[in-house]
Amino acid sequence: MLTLPGLNLFVTGRITGKHLVWVIKACLPWLYLLLMRINYVAKISLFFRNISII
């Protein structure tokens, strides 16, 4: 899904019949994993770039 995250949460809440707060709480672990992945991929990439310069 390549639309706005808020829209996806709203649609998911409507389809499942759950409240928006429940959907947001259910998505928080996945958001945390995504942010950690982005953070570590960037650090690893910068690490290898610095090694190749030396």
Tens digit of pLDDT at every position of the chain (54 positions) = 456 667 888 888 899 999 989 988 998 888 888 888 888 887 877 777 777 655
Q: How far is CA 52 from the centre of its chain?
A: 30
Helix (H) or strand (E) holding 18: none
Q: In the block, which residue shows the tokens 């960037």?
A: 42
pLDDT at res. 18: 92
Going by C-beta distance under 8 Å and a sequence separation of 6 or more, which residues neighbour residue 13? 19, 20, 22, 23
What is the domain count for the chain?
A: 1
What domain range includes position 22? 5-53
Q: Which residue has the tokens 């928006």?
A: 20
> What pLDDT is attached to residue 15?
93
* Residues 53, 5: Cα–Cα separation, whole Å: 38
